[in-house]
């Protein structure tokens, strides 16, 4: 009868740490994403979530587009969770190595699934990266991180597809082709641009996606396609999402989560009475969106900490 193999030891004689399987890491990330889906259906009814998802999928997603302001909190969380679950499935099917970069990529998908990325606009870019891997005759697992990091350009797909200046017969194929081309060139562009900063940029794909996005937008602007600015931002959900108060400096929360009461750093005065907050959902008017002074004036009117509001 053969004895079981002993665990490998390092040079100091201590047993080597056990490797965590890729499936376990992927399962943990999937649990986080499933929690978002569950929370979405907890705070909203299924019909409201469905209507919100339709609104999210059919909206333009250029900055700044808050999905809570478009489809509601429930639909925003469900969109982020389902998108991350789909990404986990892609990683599982590709048999990708779940290293630190892969985990960071999936959590970025989860975070930006609340504004910018949705269940519709990321797949043309992912497919473009897959086509590049097929062209190079390389496994897609080596490029899957590039595919989902490069999904930072996904709002371009929605901007073209739901443009009011183009018909659907033109915008649909144009959006798909643009996404495929961007995905196809992301991997080689990232490899070449790494030499530009010699590793001093910790987010190489963000640098690459930014340059590719500048080129794409400049190209479309040269043909007269100028996207309109978007500003959709919601506030006032602090109690539901985390129970924090409007005072970000002292992290004070009033009894009963009402947002009122004496602030420890506010010299006995009510934090909510001194901090003026923007309305629940704010959309800047067309004239104000064109003026760069509008944002500065808004920020000066809305202090966010006791130290900035106290006199």
pLDDT tens across 19-41, in order? 688 899 999 999 999 999 999 99
| pLDDT (average), residues 100-105 | 93
The single-letter DSSP state of residue 229 is: P
What is the separation, in whole angstroms, between the first and last Cα of the chain?
A: 81
Categorize the per-residue pLDDT at 311 as very low, low, confident or very high, splitting at 50, 70 and 90: very low
Residue 267 sits at φ, ψ, to 5 deg, of: 60, 40
pLDDT tens across 149-198, in order? 999 999 999 999 998 888 899 999 999 999 999 999 999 998 888 888 77
pLDDT of residue 214: 92
| pLDDT (average), residues 112-126 | 94
pLDDT of residue 13: 59
Categorize the per-residue pLDDT at 107 as very low, low, confident or very high, splitting at 50, 70 and 90: very high
d(CA 171, CA 136): 29
Q: How many CB atoms lie within 10 A of CB 192?
A: 9
Q: Which of 238, 199, 208, 77 lies closest to 143 in space, CA to CA?
A: 208
What tokens were used for 286? Answer: 């067309």
d(CA 270, CA 151): 43
d(CA 83, CA 80): 5
């Amino acid at each position: 009868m053969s004895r079981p193999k002993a665990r490998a030891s390092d040079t100091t004689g201590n047993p080597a740490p056990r490797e965590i399987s890729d499936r376990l890491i992927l399962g943990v990330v999937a649990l986080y994403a499933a929690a978002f889906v569950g929370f979405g259906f907890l705070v909203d009814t299924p019909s409201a979530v469905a209507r919100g998802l339709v609104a999210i999928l059919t909206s333009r997603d250029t900055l700044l587009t808050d999905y809570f302001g478009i489809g509601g909190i429930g639909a925003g969380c469900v969109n982020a969770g389902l998108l991350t679950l789909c990404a986990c499935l892609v990683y599982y099917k590709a048999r990708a190595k779940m290293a630190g970069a892969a985990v960071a990529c999936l959590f970025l998908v989860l975070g930006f699934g609340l504004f910018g990325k949705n269940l519709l606009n990321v797949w043309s870019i992912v497919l473009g990266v897959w086509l590049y891997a097929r062209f190079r005759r390389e496994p897609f697992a080596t490029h899957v991180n590039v595919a989902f990091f490069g999904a930072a350009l996904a709002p371009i797909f929605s901007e073209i597809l739901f443009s009011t200046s183009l018909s659907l017969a033109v915008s649909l194929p144009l959006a798909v082709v643009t996404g495929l081309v961007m995905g196809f060139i992301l991997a080689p562009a990232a490899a070449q641009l790494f030499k530009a900063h010699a590793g001093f940029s910790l987010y190489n794909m963000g640098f690459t996606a930014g340059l590719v996005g500048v080129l794409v937008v400049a190209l479309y602007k040269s043909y007269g396609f100028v996207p309109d600015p978007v500003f959709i931002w919601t506030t006032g959900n602090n109690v539901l999402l985390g129970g924090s108060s409007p005072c970000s400096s002292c992290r004070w929360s009033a009894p009963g989560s009402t947002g009122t009461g004496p602030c420890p750093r506010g010299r006995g005065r009510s934090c909510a009475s001194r901090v003026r907050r923007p309305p629940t959902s704010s959309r800047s008017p067309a004239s104000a969106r064109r003026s760069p002074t509008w944002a500065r004036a808004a920020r000066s009117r809305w202090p966010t900490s006791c130290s900035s509001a106290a006199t």
